[in-house]
């Protein structure tokens, strides 16, 4: 499994703030290339877009999955802050 990177900050458009505050939100893998470009295009009107924005996979902690509150998907990251979700692909 990849190393998980803890998320401590989320922006006002993110619905994952509670997970970050509890220490239950992690970045998993940076998404690059055409896949990232397509995802950024989907959120351009909502969150704006800067050339330095990154697309990352995310997951919540294993404890959140055990408690049937787990989430995983993709987020837009700007300067180390999760700006918004681009899709929740799995929920427990």
Q: What is the pLDDT of residue 36?
A: 85
Structural tokens at position 46: 């909502």
Q: Is the pLDDT at 1 greater than 70, yes or no?
A: no
The DSSP H or E segment spanning 46 is: helix 33-47
What is the reported pTM? 0.84
Domain ranges of the chain: 5-91
* Each residue's pLDDT tens digit, 27-60: 999 999 888 888 877 777 766 778 888 999 999 9
Name which of 1, 8, 10 is nearest 85 in CA terms: 10
Q: How many residues does the chain have?
A: 92
């Amino acid at each position: 499994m990849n190393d998980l990177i803890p998320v401590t900050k989320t922006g006002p458009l993110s619905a994952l703030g509670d997970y970050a505050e509890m220490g239950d939100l992690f970045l998993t893998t940076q998404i690059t290339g055409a896949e990232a470009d397509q995802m950024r295009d989907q959120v351009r009107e909502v969150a704006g877009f800067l050339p330095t924005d990154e697309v990352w996979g995310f997951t919540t902690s294993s404890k959140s999955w055990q408690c049937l509150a787990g989430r995983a998907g993709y987020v837009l990251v700007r300067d180390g802050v999760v700006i918004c979700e681009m899709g929740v692909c799995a929920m427990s």
